[in-house]
Structure 1
Amino acid sequence: METKAARRSPAPLLATWAVTRVALLLFVFGVFVFPGPDVTADVSVTYRGWYEELLRGTFPLDDVTWQYPPAGALPVLAPAVLPFLSYAHAFFVLAFLADLAVLASLLYAGGRAGRSRGGAWVWVAGVPLLGPTAYARYDVMVTAVAVAALLAGARRPRLMGALTAFGALLKVWPALLLAGAVRREAWRAAAVTAAGVVALFAVTMPGAFAFLTFQRDRGTEVESLGSLVFHVGRHFGWDGEVLLNYGSMEFLGPRVAEVSGAALALTAAAFGWLVLWRLRTTRHAPHTLADAAFTAVLLFTVTSRVLSPQYLVWLVGLASVCVSHRASRMGAPALMVVLASFVTVLEFPLGFLHVVLSDWYGVTLLALRNGLLVAAALTAARRLWRSTVPPAPAAPLPPRPSHAEETPVSG
């Protein structure tokens, strides 16, 4: 996925990153207006409100939109390190720096034997395709931690485990990075780090685990895979509605609980497949850790009751680490994720009104985006299995009878 010129010099890659990231900053700083809903309001209004409450030493206990593990308080509080900027502007600068950290990590890793700068190109191309949403959520910061964990993986399992645990306490999903971890040091470091961070927050800040209740009560968000049932159903008499619920636009009405339950069942099935894969796998190459993490997060993303646009930042980051390994077989799923990122910005924020109204333009965009992600998940799972699980031995054929044993047939 990289040219000879790119191998000689990173200048084209760095120039592309600089141009696209300046464009993102101009949009989130309001120099130019990106069409559609204002995606920066979550930072200037919601995050800023949480910031004020967190500064008082407590989590937002009365705000059901707070649905993050305890360490999620850290990126919300982080703009305090830039007091000379407004809260929102400081947050966008920190998101930009997290983006830069991912690029630097991928470039450094790409120079090793058996590695490629192709992963850095996936990151450079994939993030701006999401538009200003990439900098208007703290997911880019979590992704930076996850990318660092995977790149540390094979050589420094303790660091990988510690970073994974910290990432999981920022936003849960990085726990899936351990799906392919076979070194006990990684699991022990993750357990110790998680226990320490959890204990610290439990002692110092009330309400550290209120997010568990808020997450449990969520419904079917309008961009999830399951939502397509209701988008289409609205054209054939389904009489539910779309309302702002638990911080996102969700379907409410008949059969929503059943569809949400089906999504949870699919998530459980995905977990079962991962367990089976771990029991059957016998081949572990250096890229297996990243391939397994990418596959696991894809499976849990497409089966989730919520599939927000910023989730694509996670997938682009993990795809980048996979592609940075020349031997990885995740090139096709990574390309699907990049294409899904482009469709995502068409769906949100550009076409979000069409999605909320369930008109055929919005339904088509959503079906295309989710279809690409489902295809990526299934392709990644198939390739991971084939590259790491030995084929079952063929059953021996029954011995053919000798001529002496054959019974003559009388006529």
Structure 2
Amino acid sequence: MNRPRATSGPVHALAALWLTTRGLMLWLLVHDSAPLLGGGSVTREVWRLYFHWYGVLVHGSFPAHDTLWQYPPGAGAVLVAPGLLPWWTYFQAFVVLTLAMDALVTVALTRAGTRPGRSLLGAAVWTGGLPLLLHLPLARYDIQVTALAVLSLLALGRSPRAGGVLAALGALVKVWPALVLLGTPRGRATRGAWGWAAGAGAVTLGVFAVAFEHPLSFVREQGGRGVQIESLGGTALNLARHAGWSGRARYQYGAVEMVGPHVHAVAAASLALTAICLALLVLWRVRARHWTEATPFDAALCAVLLFTVTSRVISPQYMIWLVGLAAVCLTSRHTSQRPVAALVLAATALSTLVFPMRYGDVIDGTWTGCVLMLARNGILAAAAVLSFVRLWRAARPVGKSVQTTEPRPGSGRLPDRALTLS
């Protein structure tokens, strides 16, 4: 009976912080046309692009032959959802649903943090970290995707099957949530999570294939993307402009990309680095012997960080994913990713300076824009390396003895304490 009274104060403080920060984000959304806030560029994606896709989707087809449609079919469900609230405009309904998913993540992290041996720091990081991106999170559907990934990770400990289903649904909206299952302990938990993820993904994809035309049209457009100006490769090319490189920035495929000599080589290098990161993660998975309750959380953050840093595209909304996964890590006192979470928050704050506040400098390749991108991406790269190093070290066996905390037979639950496998 003492625990509810002991946690009621921090929970009420978190609720007050959420209401205050989300009210401020809504105020910024209303004043989006201010030059310092991007001159309307943040909200334009919802009321112009998303609403256009909504008009196509409600007629039973995905936007085939649209170079801007680069998302798995599950994204269609998110973009159609505002139509369930016809008493508001599409933009208003989209923001309301985004706030609802944001609140759901906050509640889930808070509940996880109030359990014995857990921490409310994760809920605080999500509540206070998301507004570092100003109003951008309310004008993108990445909160919805992150919510599925967060709920999947939090469900894994009690029901690997439910965690697998939620990860599959997230992967059908934006592919990266599939990575959250990387850290499930070998054995029954992995078989349950991965098996149900595969099954749920196949069934859901089949439903989309029956209900809509061209469900896989995004594959063709995704393959045509180049090097976005905000990626590591784009930052290097932007700096090369000061050394005489003849390339330039151009809007294409829904983003500002670099065009000119050697761009294809930079894109190929990014793909090669992604492949190397995948190999490292597989090696970690094979060599890992020691699990704690935080290992699935830590592995998810590490994997998404590595794939984000080596991507040809590092849009500012990608930081929403990282803040959400860092928050999940910090719900556990056993996490190895505390310093990584701090770096993620620093990179998130810098992302706001990059877009929307000084995006013109980034596009023009001024020294201000280059320094901002170098700082943001440098911090992200450092966070990715540190995350993998700490994940690798945390997975080393404690000793020669085999310590196990197995779930009860038939329970399907993951261990709450350390688990060392021989």
Question: What is the TM-score when the length of structure 1 is the normalising length?
Answer: 0.92
Residues 1:129 and 2:136 are matched in the alignment = no
The one-character-per-residue Cα deviations of 1:320-366 (angstroms, maximum 9, x if unpaired) are 00001011111100011011111000110001000001101111111
CA separation in 2, counterparts of 1:315 and 1:7? 28
Residues 1:98 and 2:101 are matched in the alignment = yes
Paired position in structure 2 for 1:268: 275
The one-character-per-residue Cα deviations of 1:92-116 (angstroms, maximum 9, x if unpaired) are 1111111101100001001112210
Deviation at 1:388, TM superposition (A): 0.6
**Aligned pairs (5 A) from 1:2-401:** 8-30=9-31, 33=34, 35-38=37-40, 39-182=42-185, 183=189, 184-390=191-397
Letter paired with 1:379 = L
Letter paired with 2:22 = R
In our comparison, the structure showing a higher alpha carbon Rg is: 1
Paired position in structure 2 for 1:401: none
Q: Quick check: 1:6–1:12 contact (8 Å CA) kept in 2?
A: no
CA separation in 1, counterparts of 2:250 and 2:238? 14
Aligned residues: percent identity? 44
Q: Quick check: 1:6–1:13 contact (8 Å CA) kept in 2?
A: no
CA RMSD of aligned residues (A): 1.7
CA separation in 2, counterparts of 1:374 and 1:352? 21
Aligned length: 390
CA separation in 2, counterparts of 1:223 and 1:32? 23
CA separation in 2, counterparts of 1:65 and 1:79? 20
Deviation at 1:391, TM superposition (A): 8.7
Deviation at 1:70, TM superposition (A): 0.5
Deviation at 1:392, TM superposition (A): 11
The one-character-per-residue Cα deviations of 1:115-161 (angstroms, maximum 9, x if unpaired) are 10000111011100011111110000111111100000121100000
Structure 1 SS opposite 2:250: strand
Letter paired with 1:64 = T
Q: Quick check: 2:323–2:345 contact (8 Å CA) kept in 1?
A: yes
The one-character-per-residue Cα deviations of 1:161-213 (angstroms, maximum 9, x if unpaired) are 00000000000000101111231100111011011011111122111111111
Change in Cα spacing, 1:81 to 1:112, as seen in structure 2 (3 Å) is: same
CA separation in 1, counterparts of 2:366 and 2:88? 41
Question: What is the TM-score when the length of structure 2 is the normalising length?
Answer: 0.90
Segments of structure 2 that go 5 or more residues without pairing to the other structure are 401-422
